[in-house]
Copies of this chain bind each other. A is one copy, B any other.
Amino acid sequence: MEIMPAPLGRLIADLGRLPGVGSKTASRLAMHILRRPASEARALAADLMDLHAAIRLCGTCFAFSEDDPCQVCCDSRRDRRLICVVEGIDDLLAIEKTSSFKGLYHVLHGVLSPMDGIGPSEIKIDALIGRIKKDSVREVLIATSSTVPGEATASYLFERLKGLTTVSRLACGIPMGMDIKYADEHTLARAIEARAYERNQSL
């Protein structure tokens, strides 16, 4: 006999579809929500309903935003001729947290992955080229991940943007605070290749 109440079972199934949430975690979360006051579940439900209704893509940089254009694209203190290209909004938020970048962004919403049928027209590359031409962009900083598809996307962009603007890539090397002896050999090899002789030009 199934003694799990159906509404609880449905919530567990929903939660179990989230990434990294297995059936035991989903069950633990649902039980927690059930034991807490109904107002907390209602608040979470309301915020879930708001999410897609209130958030759109900025028509310029394709970041998620409540407004179009987004806050970053509207900010007159930012350097409009410097664009940082990222895979997703998580990367944008991570870079923004550093306070080290004062230009605008361009969110690709993915990386090239021919095996999954994701070619240049599936991610926001044409729109990037349009922006570069329209706004006479001075420099494009490619901040895709240093994974295989991230590197492939960066190489493709280097080729496509050649002649249009200056193209740079995030430095690859030893993470700050890391002991050299624990660095993996690929990172260490890259750090040796890319060794700094003089101070890089500041952004």
Looking at the complex, which one of B32, B44, B50, B96 makes contact with A48 (CB distance below 8 Å)?
A: B44
Copy total for this chain: 2
Which B residues are in CB contact (< 8 Å) with A75? Answer: 1
A-side interface mostly: helix
**Residues A33 and B11 in contact, CB atoms below 8 Å apart:** no
Binds B, one of A51-59, A111-119, A178-186: A51-59
C-beta contact mask, A17-40 vs B, less than 8 Å → 1, else 0? 111110001011111111000101
A48 touching B88 by the CB < 8 A rule? Answer: no
Q: How far is A49 from B49 in the complex, measured between Cα atoms in Å?
A: 11
A43 vs B54: C-alpha distance in the bound complex, in angstroms? Answer: 17
Leading 4 A-B pairs by shortest Cβ distance? A38-B52, A45-B48, A45-B45, A7-B54
| 6 A–B contacts from the bound complex (CB under 8 Å) | A5-B54, A5-B66, A6-B66, A11-B47, A19-B32, A41-B52
Given contacts A10-B50, A18-B29, A42-B48, 11 further A-B contacts (CB under 8 A): A6-B54, A7-B54, A10-B47, A11-B48, A14-B47, A20-B29, A31-B90, A33-B48, A34-B64, A42-B52, A48-B48
